[in-house]
Structure 1
Amino acid sequence: MDKIDISVIISTYNSPAWLEKVLWSFNQQTFKNFEIVIADDGSGAATKQLIDAIGKEVSYPIQHIWHEDNGFQKTIILNKATVTSKGDYLVYTDGDCIARADFLKMHANYREEGYFLSGGYFKLPMSISQLISKEDIESQQCFDIDWLKTHGLKSSFKNNKITAKGLKEKLLNKLTPTTATWNGHNSSGYKKDIIDANGYDERMQYGGEDRELGERLFNSGIKAKQIRYSAICLHLDHARGYVKPEMIEKNLKIRAVTKGDKVLKTPYGIKKL
């Protein structure tokens, strides 16, 4: 195989049923020159068994980067996965986001030196999240608005995220009031830019830990492109038992320093400065 063009870094923690759906979705990608790097924040044996089994069936290579469970350490495992990745261009997403067949093609088409790309996700209720099968992913009917409505999805402006095509899609990317930020579920950038920023700040736990990396990229002169209506993924529902208010408060303080002091590199990243 030629040199890998794109590395897709997927964060996961003890959600093998959701991760399986996500890995099937990457087997449907129209853009083929990629690898998956799973950033595993300490999952148990079931996740390893799933990755070993599915690795024999999918068309792309998988690296499984794991460390022992020691609480929420997503930023640490993301940095390890970033270093291990083989592509020059990195797409970051989560183990609960099913990617549409053109997801990587959109990231590949929109990428540009001096920019990172900011995508969104389309939230599904638990009932539909559980319902989606391998067959629904292979046929892509889980991205069909009529199929989703048949299974209980409510009508909403947000449905444009999965129905917008062509000119409407470009227009909505331009007009959306949502700021283009670095989102852990759907963002991409050049590996050299992420390494220059020293990756994720490993002090940070849940709440804005992804955005802080984007804020450092902004400080170094990199701009963001909005692709929330182009690079589409379905977000599977789940509980968030790991969220604690003190985590969010601590992260907000770190982000305030990043913005106020125009920080370019975190001293608490890939390399400890």
Structure 2
Amino acid sequence: MVGSVMNTTNTDFHRKKVVFIMGSTGTGKSRLSVDLAGHIPAEIINSDKMQVYNGGLDILTNKIPESERNGVTHHLISEFDPNSDFTVSDFCFHALKAIDKIVRSDRVPIIVGGSNSFIEALVEDPHFKFKAKYESCFLWLDVSVPILNSFVSKRVDHMVHAGLVDEVRALLIPGSDSDCTRGIHRAIGVPELDEYFKAEAKLTDKTTKEKLLREAIEKIKDNTRKLVLTQLKKIQRLRYEKGWAIHRVDATPVFQRGGKDAGRAWEEFVAKPSLAIANDFLLKLNENYVM
């Protein structure tokens, strides 16, 4: 395990500071957030627009299981009606409430997720006055696109094996016209499988059904790979056009290795440098905080 560089408990040095973990889907953001929270007094705020919903799509939305949260408090995960539209404004309102609560308890808010539009609005929208209240540290967990594309494709296969199809089937009402433009129904995997279920209901031939299912799964993979690029471009825009001071952490070596080597690579290339960046940020006296 990574050794903690500092002990921030009962110190004012980290007050009014927020750590963000950004990155494309599948890069290990949730894992890193829990790792950091194991070494600094922190609570985690989810900024993934699909993980905010309850409703049972834990496999599809890749929610971090309770068993992997290591007792760290998580906010804005599985809290909202899956049929509601959780907007950018909703996120900012609830995130700010959570941030204020965490800071008042003398802990560090770690905001983690792939919905960069949420993060940008929270930080940039003058209505929320975020910059006037808090200082930010942005960690960007990056992975080479070809390697990440291969990983997320394999991850879809693992999700299917874990029960993805039945999970989505249980969400959709048989014979109904599902509105895949609202709530959790917008998640990649729901529209693709909804189309398959509607076709499946009209077929009796098993071979044809299996072929259509394979095609639906390939669409999920393709749309996930497109999401990877969209998320990457947004982060690059924030860094290079908006001028955000984003620290890039290259996790590619982790994905190039397997077994124990992958674990060691995670510690060397991701956990240790990320903790060092966070510690440097938290030890720096906050310019906006008056003792």
- The answer to whether the superposition gives a TM-score over 0.5 is no
Q: With the length of structure 2 as denominator, give the TM-score of the two structures.
A: 0.31
CA radius of gyration, larger in? 2
Comparing both structures, which one devotes a greater share of its residues to helix?
2
Comparing both structures, which one devotes a greater share of its residues to strand?
1
Bigger relative CO (Cα 8 Å, ≥ 6 apart): 2
Q: With the length of structure 1 as denominator, give the TM-score of the two structures.
A: 0.32
